[in-house]
Structure 1
Amino acid sequence: MFSIKEFTVEQIIDPFGILEGERYEFILFLDVEEDDELFHENGVYIKALYVVKGDQSSLIKYDLFEGETNNYLDFELEEEEEKLVSDFCSSHLVNDEE
């Protein structure tokens, strides 16, 4: 299992109005236990795409990368980990109106 130690979030603006809802890109820097198969000495981060349409929201895509090299890691999160990421994104949305 891992924890999220820091993050960035940015709303993705669609100037053409093609995409429905509001999209957000999260970069989540992870603290991974050494005995976890996801552990890398250079660290690991997730790029996650989160969408909000009205009262519905969901994690629609995520990719994992090695910290220093930015190399793509071909891993899928476990269901529980994916829920952790989705819940984190949901609770850390940005709003330009604030």
Structure 2
Amino acid sequence: MVMITEYSIEKMKDPFGILTGERYEVLLDIAVPEDDELFTEAGIYIRVLYKVEDSQSTIIKYDLLERGTDKLLDFELEDEEIEAVRAFCIEHLAEAL
């Protein structure tokens, strides 16, 4: 399961008015146990692009990145972890700047 230690949420601007709905960038620092294949000394964070349109909301894309280097990690979250991230985003969207 994903253990979120810190986060930030920012509403993305669409200066050309091309995109429908509202887009958010959510950065989630996560704690990863040393025995997990995702573990790195630098740490891991998840960058989530999240969309809200009408009464529907969804994760457009997410990336797992190494803290400090921003190196893209070639791993995917499990379904239950994706759902936990989605629920976290829904819960905290009102905090977006």
RMSD across aligned C-alpha pairs, in angstroms?
1.3
| Structure with more relative contact order (C-alpha pairs < 8 Å, separation 6 or more) | 2
SS in structure 2 of the partner of residue 77 of structure 1: coil
1:62 alignment counterpart: 62
Richer in helix (by share): 2
CA deviation after TM superposition for structure 1 residue 2, in Å = 2.8
Deviation sequence 1:7-65 (CA, Å, 0-9, x none): 01100011211100000000100011122111111100011000000100011100011
Q: Aligned pair count?
A: 96
1:95, distance to aligned residue in structure 2 (A) = 6.2
Query: Which residue does the alignment assign to 2:15?
Result: 15
Q: Please list every run of 5 or more consecutive structure 1 residues that lacks an aligned counterpart in the other structure.
A: none
TM-score (norm 2): 0.92
**What TM-score does the superposition give when structure 1 sets the normalisation length?**
0.91
Name the structure where strand makes up a greater proportion of residues.
1
Alignment gaps of 5+ in structure 2: none
User: Quick check: 2:9–2:95 contact (8 Å CA) kept in 1?
Assistant: no
User: 1:66 is matched by which residue type in structure 2?
Assistant: E
Identity %: 54
